[in-house]
């Protein structure tokens, strides 16, 4: 017996995931044009791996394979993994990362909707810990031909210094840590463009465009991007105003690394993120704070992934303590879940 | 070396005293475990568990004299709750104590009743009214469905009738999860 | 506060589908061959039958007496003969049966004598009793008795008339407002006077401009305000409409009266008008027949008309696969078509897979919070779902399960197609059932403990009596010497008062066997006598059992096996 309501809005998980993929396209296009088409090869590898792993896991868990693969959630994970990785990582690294994300993080925790951690971020963190060298080889914009990128991806010989330069965040870190340079002198280096890493700015703008599209389609709410960008800008702005020689500007922080990808696509992962409006603000703000701290004082040039995982751990508490008040219960201090 | 032993011994004594004091100072009155177990039991007082009533069974469980799967009216769910409460493993109802049945109440066929008062004496919750040589009847809202009145009746005029679902007691069913369907 | 409208959180905008049925005027539905009037009009309250099979009843004659606090009268919708008083399926998702009075109309449609009720001359309590006896209940769908709603609370500032009709497809209130605006306002003003409210505000969704205009025209020259509220489901929910019009939020479990507002449906106001000004009880209502049918429209239908008869008027198309009662958001698919129209029936929708496609299979929740964004009571439905699904009812209640109004917004927006409301309904009814069970168990425990206490007390009393009697017997035995052998044999046991008594009883029984004493039951039929003997025998055994501890009981227990009829 089917009960009311008998009408449903024409929405589905598939549509949500599809729109997220669509929103990633501007960033991917910018990536392919400015940095090189190698990312497309990696996307293909990760997509195939993710779909295969998803189907296998569903089969092993005795779940209907077709309908669950068709929800595109595995593809979203795969694309996010690839987009956080350097575009010239060898193919097996991508495969390993996607397997970690899909098999270990997603399905071993119960499949879609059950994972407490962001699969793409676990993949990123485990790979950067396991293969720190490969994970920090970022090609400068327009430096490598597609053939070179392809051969690197397919496992060709890697002449590290010849093919990669330091990323903007990396260069800034090493520059400042050497103790001889200030932000200004570092930023004159070849890795930097007008805003952040040279060429990467365009990719970031692509992500922003996609993010705004998601906001317009009401797939994500404003809370997380605003809190993430706001906190990152505020904290970096504060230190930059106090010591412009020792700390980079907010604009630099926002335009470099994966800040924009994170703000609109990674922090906003619904499954592992906070769900209440206030919880979302705290969650995204916390990630930005941790990311900035790691960027400036930590051992890794980019800290968003660690920030996401640390805040993932706080989600149950955040959700519990930030329950919105229920209609009519205006005077209740805490809503539910006391 | 000697100092270390002294220090450790000192700490041990202090902690021991604290614990001992706490055990006296914060002693829990009565045996709340029996109460907790009793609260889970269905209070049919049917004795199918082998004890004369729910409370004695609760006491037996608390003392480890009885297992948690001896209460058919409580059903699987009752066993599950007891298992949760006592931190034990769930086990299916033991067959020797009976099977789970739908909730029923006793109904006396008043044409046949001879007014022997045997059922009145058997009823653990005084839910049967009547007097010697007078017709007896069951007060329906009070009947727990324990069946204890059925056996003593010399004329077999007591029947257990399953309680029919009414609009007030009707329950929405657990939604069917269709995840396995389709592909 | 004039003109200012408030917002409630969430809400959805499903396709309204009002135009299908709102075009034509209300028509009077023909009387069916049989009217089935349920004595229980809603799940919460019933009425006691006061007619007998074969009795002739007149239109408006009371056939059900209000029962209990929430009971209201039930009346014959037309004149005719009571053909049966039987259990018939009820307009309820369970499809369970309920006692109904089946009336065969005589076609004369002859009214019982009735007269207007002057509520101004009568006391307030009399007026409320009149409403109860006229069977006036909320016609918005919840069928809450109006006299109860009026009778509680004091210091009501604002009376709100609910003409929002936010559910898709339904247009009965729309048509009623267009055609009988003056009567509605007359009824509303009676309600306002009874409740002592200062102002009357009518809230109508702005997708019904004709109804707004009609109500405004009827309200010209009076202080009544007719307000067009934005069309946003569930703006017609009582608490949501109160929020929109006054900004007051009434939490679960509280009544509007505590907050100075009261809300009645426009149809109820109309029924109140009929009850007071014309003295007519509630025997018909406007029902929207719509959906996948040839001739949608609004009909004035006698309560008790089987749905099948109404469908003959609407003529469902061939691909109709279900019939829904109520709107598509909160209504239910009828298990059978012989279900009668009740006071809460506002709409009957012929559903086809084209208009109401079956929901796609349920997928895992991805915590997208669409449901939380849509929830008009600001719940976190996905949390409630999580706890309901795992039957963690305590947690679900902590997350305010019972604040849920079951409006269906969360299910409507869920991209994973999870039937969230079904889970909440399940949890709620499960919690209620558990509460009932717990009350019953507590009662049983108390009664069991009292019985044990009583038995102990009786045992103590009996022991005291026995001791006294034993002393007496011993004295007698001493007098009689050792004349009787058995008693002598048991002499050592005579130390024990009980044993002495048994010995005495045995002796008496032997004596009785020897000489049969005439009893007052002698001149009865042999059968009865046998029965009595049987009972006596068993009683004796019982007394013995009660009086003796286990070992002695064994010998006495041998007795009952012999004489059994």
CATH of the domain at C258: 3.40.50.11540
pLDDT at residue C482 above 80? no
Query: What is the distance in angstroms between the Cα of B116 and the nearest Cα belonging to chain C?
Result: 6
- Residues from chain B contacting residue A71 (CB–CB below 8 Å): none
Which of C480, C510, C525 is the endpoint of a domain? Answer: C480
Would you state the pLDDT for residue C67?
86
Task: For residues B169-182, give the mean pLDDT.
Answer: 67
Distance CA C335, CA C337 (A): 7
pLDDT band at A270 (very low <50, low <70, confident <90, very high): very high
Judge whether C389 lies within some domain. yes
CA-nearest of A105, A8, A66, A13 to C363 is: A13
Distance CA A262, CA A124 (A): 13
Q: Which of C351, C378, C415 sits opposite A324 (nearest CB)?
A: C378
Query: What is the distance in angstroms between the Cα of C452 and the nearest Cα belonging to chain B?
Result: 8
Chains with 3 or more CB pairs under 8 A to chain A: B, C
Judge whether C38 lies within some domain. yes
Would you state the pLDDT for residue C495?
55
pLDDT at residue A254 above 60? yes
Q: C349 CB contacts (<8 Å, ≥6 apart)? A: C169, C290, C291, C323, C324, C325, C327, C328, C331
- Predicted ipTM? 0.88
Which of C480, C495, C519 is the endpoint of a domain? Answer: C480
pLDDT band at A162 (very low <50, low <70, confident <90, very high): low
Mutate to test the interface with C, among B37, B51, B125, B142 (most CBs of C within 10 A): B125
pLDDT at residue C150 above 90? no
Query: What is the distance in angstroms between the Cα of C225 and the nearest Cα belonging to chain A?
Result: 25
Which of C480, C510, C527 is the endpoint of a domain? Answer: C480
Q: Which of B172, B180, B183 sits opposite A66 (nearest CB)?
A: B183
* B42 to chain C: closest CA residue: C441
Query: What is the distance in angstroms between the Cα of A105 and the nearest Cα belonging to chain B?
Result: 21
Percent of chain C with pLDDT over 90: 55
Q: Does C119 touch chain B (CB under 8 A)?
A: no
Judge whether C191 lies within some domain. yes
Query: What is the distance in angstroms between the Cα of A99 and the nearest Cα belonging to chain B?
Result: 23
- Residues from chain A contacting residue B180 (CB–CB below 8 Å): 63-64
pLDDT at residue C173 above 70? yes
Q: Which of C98, C362, C535 sits opposite B167 (nearest CB)?
A: C98
Q: Does C452 touch chain B (CB under 8 A)?
A: yes
- Residues from chain C contacting residue B43 (CB–CB below 8 Å): 440-442, 444-445, 448
- Asked if A328 and C367 come within 8 Å (Cβ–Cβ), the reply is no
Judge whether C564 lies within some domain. no
Would you state the pLDDT for residue C488?
47
- Asked if C532 and B133 come within 8 Å (Cβ–Cβ), the reply is yes
Distance CA B11, CA C343 (A): 77
Judge whether C526 lies within some domain. no
Beta-strand relationship, C284-291 and C347-351: parallel
Q: Are residues C396 and C334 in the same domain?
A: no
* Mean pLDDT over each residue of chain C, to the nearest integer: 86
Distance CA C59, CA C61 (A): 6
Would you state the pLDDT for residue A305?
93
- Asked if B117 and C539 come within 8 Å (Cβ–Cβ), the reply is yes
- Asked if C251 and A114 come within 8 Å (Cβ–Cβ), the reply is no
Could you give the domains of chain B? 32-97 (1.10.15.40), 104-162 (3.30.70.20)
- Asked if B171 and C426 come within 8 Å (Cβ–Cβ), the reply is yes
* C378 to chain A: closest CA residue: A326
* B35 to chain C: closest CA residue: C445
Query: What is the distance in angstroms between the Cα of B115 and the nearest Cα belonging to chain C?
Result: 8
Would you state the pLDDT for residue A44?
95
List all residues of chain C from 92 to 111 with a beta carbon under 8 Å from chain B: 92-94, 96, 98
| Domain residue limits, chain A | 11-160, 166-320
Distance CA A78, CA A51 (A): 9
* B174 to chain A: closest CA residue: A1
Q: Which of B172, B173, B182 sits opposite A67 (nearest CB)?
A: B182
Q: Does C457 touch chain B (CB under 8 A)?
A: no
- Asked if C14 and A323 come within 8 Å (Cβ–Cβ), the reply is no
* Mean pLDDT over each residue of chain A, to the nearest integer: 86
Query: What is the distance in angstroms between the Cα of B135 and the nearest Cα belonging to chain C?
Result: 13
Q: Does C361 touch chain A (CB under 8 A)?
A: yes
Chains with 3 or more CB pairs under 8 A to chain B: A, C
Would you state the pLDDT for residue C562?
40
Maximum Cα interatomic distance, chain C, rounded to a whole number of Å: 111
Q: Are residues C367 and C455 in the same domain?
A: yes
pLDDT at residue C153 above 80? no
Distance CA C299, CA C283 (A): 14
- Residues from chain A contacting residue B178 (CB–CB below 8 Å): none
The structure tokens listed for C252 are: 């679960």
Distance CA B164, CA A215 (A): 53
- Asked if A16 and C366 come within 8 Å (Cβ–Cβ), the reply is yes
- Residues from chain C contacting residue B120 (CB–CB below 8 Å): none
Query: Could you tell me how many CB contacts below 8 A there are between chain B and chain C?
Result: 100
pLDDT band at C552 (very low <50, low <70, confident <90, very high): very low
* B143 to chain C: closest CA residue: C444
Distance CA C510, CA C502 (A): 12
A66 SS3 class: helix
Mutate to test the interface with B, among C417, C445, C456 (most CBs of B within 10 A): C445
A77 SS3 class: helix
Q: Which residues of B touch A (CB under 8 A)?
A: 172-173, 179-183
Q: Which of C324, C359, C400 sits opposite A8 (nearest CB)?
A: C359
Q: Are residues C45 and C146 in the same domain?
A: yes
Q: Which of B126, B169, B172 sits opposite C425 (nearest CB)?
A: B172
Could you count the other beta carbons within 10 Å of the beta carbon of residue A4? 26
Exposure letters C424-453 (e unless 16+ CB within 10 A, then b): bbbbbebbeeeeeeeebbebbbebbeebee
Write out pLDDT tens, residues A204-226: 999 999 999 999 999 999 999 99
Q: Are residues C186 and C47 in the same domain?
A: yes
In this structure, of B67-76, C82-91, C145-154, C388-397, the range with the lowest mean pLDDT score is C145-154
Would you state the pLDDT for residue C119?
87
pLDDT band at B183 (very low <50, low <70, confident <90, very high): very low
Judge whether C169 lies within some domain. yes
Write out pLDDT tens, residues C270-281: 999 999 999 999
Place of tokens 């709750």: B81
Task: For residues C21-38, give the mean pLDDT.
Answer: 91
Mutate to test the interface with C, among A71, A327, A335 (most CBs of C within 10 A): A327
The pTM (predicted TM-score) of the whole model is 0.83
Q: What is the CATH number of the domain that holds C469?
A: 1.10.1060
Q: Does C7 touch chain A (CB under 8 A)?
A: no
pLDDT band at C515 (very low <50, low <70, confident <90, very high): low
Distance CA B56, CA B48 (A): 12
pLDDT band at C484 (very low <50, low <70, confident <90, very high): low
pLDDT at residue C286 above 60? yes
Task: For residues B96-101, give the mean pLDDT.
Answer: 85
Q: Which of B43, B53, B114 sits opposite C441 (nearest CB)?
A: B43
Q: Are residues C347 and C432 in the same domain?
A: no
Would you state the pLDDT for residue A337?
34
In this structure, of A39-53, A152-166, B66-80, C414-428, the range with the lowest mean pLDDT score is A152-166
* A55 to chain B: closest CA residue: B183
* C360 to chain A: closest CA residue: A12
Query: What is the distance in angstroms between the Cα of A320 and the nearest Cα belonging to chain B?
Result: 24
Judge whether C562 lies within some domain. no
Maximum Cα interatomic distance, chain A, rounded to a whole number of Å: 75
- Residues from chain A contacting residue C348 (CB–CB below 8 Å): none
pLDDT band at A192 (very low <50, low <70, confident <90, very high): low
Domain of C321? 19-351
Query: What is the distance in angstroms between the Cα of C227 and the nearest Cα belonging to chain B?
Result: 38
- Asked if A7 and C250 come within 8 Å (Cβ–Cβ), the reply is no
C223 vs C505 pLDDT, higher one = C223
pLDDT band at A165 (very low <50, low <70, confident <90, very high): low
- Asked if A328 and C330 come within 8 Å (Cβ–Cβ), the reply is no
Report DSSP letters for C72-129, one per residue.
--EE-SSSEEEEEEEEEE-SSTT--EEEEEEEEE-S--PBPP-----TTTS-HHHHHH
Would you state the pLDDT for residue C2?
54
Q: Are residues C54 and C126 in the same domain?
A: yes
A178 vs C258 pLDDT, higher one = C258
Q: Are residues C191 and C302 in the same domain?
A: yes
Q: Are residues C112 and C232 in the same domain?
A: yes
Q: Is C552 exposed, middle or buried (0-12, 13-18, 19+ CB in 10 A)?
A: middle
Judge whether C549 lies within some domain. no
Domain count for chain C = 2
pLDDT at residue C542 above 70? yes
Ordered alpha helix ranges (H), chain B: 2-25, 32-40, 54-62, 75-86, 118-122
Q: Are residues C346 and C307 in the same domain?
A: yes
């Amino acid at each position: 017996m089917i009960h009311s309501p008998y009408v449903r809005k024409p929405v589905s998980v598939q549509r949500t995931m599809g729109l997220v993929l669509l929103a990633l396209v501007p960033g991917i296009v910018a990536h392919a044009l400015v940095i090189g088409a190698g990312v497309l090869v990696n996307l293909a590898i990760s997509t195939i791996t993710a779909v295969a792993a998803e189907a296998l896991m569903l089969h092993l868990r005795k779940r209907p394979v077709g309908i669950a693969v068709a929800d595109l959630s595995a593809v979203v994970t795969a694309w996010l993994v690839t987009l956080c990785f350097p575009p010239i990582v060898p193919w097996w690294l991508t495969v390993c990362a996607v397997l970690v994300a899909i098999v270990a993080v997603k399905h071993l925790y119960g499949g879609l909707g059950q994972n407490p951690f962001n699969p793409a971020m676990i993949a990123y963190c485990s790979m950067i810990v396991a293969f720190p060298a490969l994970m920090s080889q970022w090609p400068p914009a327009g430096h490598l031909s597609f053939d070179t990128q392809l051969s690197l991806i397919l496992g060709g010989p890697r002449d590290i210094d010849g093919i990669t330069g330091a990323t903007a965040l990396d260069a800034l870190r090493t520059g400042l840590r050497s103790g001889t340079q200030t932000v200004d002198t570092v930023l004159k280096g070849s890795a930097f463009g007008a805003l952040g890493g040279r060429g990467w700015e365009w990719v970031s703008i692509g992500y922003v465009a996609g993010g705004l599209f998601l906001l317009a389609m009401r797939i994500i709410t404003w809370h997380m991007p605003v809190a993430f960008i706001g906190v990152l800008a505020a904290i970096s702005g504060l230190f930059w105003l106090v010591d412009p020689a020792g700390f980079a500007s907010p604009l630099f922080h926002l335009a470099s690394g994966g800040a924009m990808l994170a703000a609109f696509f990674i922090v906003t992962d619904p499954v592992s993120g906070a769900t209440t409006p206030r919880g979302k603000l705290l969650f995204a703000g916390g990630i930005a704070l941790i990311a900035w701290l790691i960027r400036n004082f930590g051992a890794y040039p980019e800290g968003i992934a660690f920030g996401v995982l640390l805040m993932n751990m706080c989600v149950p508490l955040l959700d519990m303590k930030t329950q919105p008040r229920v209609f009519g219960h205006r005077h209740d201090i805490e809503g539910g879940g006391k | 070396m000697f100092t270390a032993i002294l220090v450790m011994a000192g700490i041990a004594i202090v902690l021991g005293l604290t614990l001992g004091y706490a055990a006296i100072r914060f002693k829990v009155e009565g045996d709340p475990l029996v109460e907790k177990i009793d609260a889970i039991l269905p209070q049919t007082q049917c004795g199918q568990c082998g004890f004369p009533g729910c409370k004695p069974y609760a006491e037996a469980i608390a003392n480890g004299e009885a297992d948690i799967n001896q209460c058919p009216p409580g059903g699987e769910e009752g066993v599950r709750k007891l298992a949760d409460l006592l931190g034990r493993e769930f086990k299916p109802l033991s067959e020797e104590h009976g099977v789970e049945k739908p909730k029923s109440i006793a109904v006396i066929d008043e044409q046949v009743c001879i007014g022997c008062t045997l059922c009145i004496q058997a009823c653990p919750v005084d839910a049967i009214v009547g007097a010697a040589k007078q017709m007896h009847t069951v007060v329906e809202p009070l009947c727990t469905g324990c069946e204890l009145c059925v056996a003593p009746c010399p004329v077999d005029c007591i029947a257990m009738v399953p309680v029919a679902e009414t609009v007030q007691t009707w329950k929405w069913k657990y939604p069917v999860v269709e995840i396995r369907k389709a592909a | 506060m004039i003109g200012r409208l408030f917002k409630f959180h969430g809400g959805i905008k499903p396709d309204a589908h009002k135009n299908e049925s709102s075009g034509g005027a209300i028509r009077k539905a023909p009387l069916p061959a049989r009217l089935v009037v349920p004595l229980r009009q809603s799940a919460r309250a019933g009425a006691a039958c006061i007619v007998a099979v074969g009795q002739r009843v007149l239109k408006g004659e009371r056939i059900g007496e209000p029962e209990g606090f929430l009971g209201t009268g039930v009346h014959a919708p037309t004149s005719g003969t009571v053909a049966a008083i039987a259990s018939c399926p009820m307009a309820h998702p369970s499809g369970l049966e309920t006692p109904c009075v089946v009336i065969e109309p005589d076609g004369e449609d002859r009214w019982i004598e009735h007269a207007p009720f002057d509520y101004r001359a009568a006391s307030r309590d009399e007026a409320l009793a009149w409403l109860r006896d006229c069977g006036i209940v909320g016609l918005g769908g919840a069928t809450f008795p109006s006299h109860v709603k009026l009778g509680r609370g004091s210091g009501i500032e604002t009376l709100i008339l609910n003409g929002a009709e936010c559910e898709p497809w339904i247009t009965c209130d729309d048509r009623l407002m267009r055609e009988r605006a003056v009567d509605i306002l007359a009824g509303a003003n009676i309600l306002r006077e009874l409740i002592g409210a200062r102002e009357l505000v009518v809230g109508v969704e702005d997708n019904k401009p004709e109804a707004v205009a009609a109500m405004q025209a009827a309200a010209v020259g009076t202080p009544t305000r007719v307000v067009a509220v934005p069309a946003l489901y569930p703006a017609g929910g009582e608490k949501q409409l109160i929020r929109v019009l006054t900004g007051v939020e009434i939490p679960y479990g509280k009544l509007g009266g505590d907050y100075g507002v009261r809300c009645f449906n426009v149809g109820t106001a109309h029924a109140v008008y009929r009850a007071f000004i014309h003295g007519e009880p509630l025997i018909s209502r406007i029902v929207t027949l719509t959906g996948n049918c040839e001739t949608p429209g609004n009909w004035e239908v006698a309560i008790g008309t089987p749905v099948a008869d109404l469908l003959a008027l609407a003529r469902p198309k061939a691909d109709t696969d279900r019939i829904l009662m109520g709107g598509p958001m909160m209504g239910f698919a009828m298990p059978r078509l012989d279900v009668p129209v009740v006071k809460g029936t506002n709409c009957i929708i012929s559903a086809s897979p084209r208009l109401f496609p079956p929901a796609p299979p349920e997928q895992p929740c991805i915590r997208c919070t669409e449901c939380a964004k849509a929830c008009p009571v600001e719940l976190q439905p996905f949390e409630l779902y999580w706890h309901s699904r795992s039957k963690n009812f305590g947690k679900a209640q902590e997350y305010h399960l019972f604040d849920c109004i079951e409006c269906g917004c969360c299910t409507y927006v869920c991209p994973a197609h999870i039937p969230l409301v079904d889970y909440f309904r399940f949890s709620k009814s499960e919690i209620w059932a558990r509460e009932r069970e717990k009350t019953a168990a507590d009662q049983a425990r108390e009664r069991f403990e009292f019985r044990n206490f009583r038995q102990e007390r009786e045992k103590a009393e009996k022991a005291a009596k026995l001791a006294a009697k034993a002393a007496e017997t011993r004295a007698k035995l001493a007098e009689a010497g050792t004349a009787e052998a058995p008693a002598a044999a048991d002499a050592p046991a005579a130390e024990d008062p009980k044993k002495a008594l048994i010995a005495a009883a045995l002796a008496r029984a032997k004596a009785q066997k020897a000489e049969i004493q005439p009893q007052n039951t002698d001149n009865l039929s042999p059968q009865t006598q046998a029965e009595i003997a049987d009972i006596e025998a068993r009683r004796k055994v019982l007394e013995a059992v009660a009086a003796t501890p286990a070992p002695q009981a064994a010998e006495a227990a041998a007795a009952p096996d012999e004489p059994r009829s």
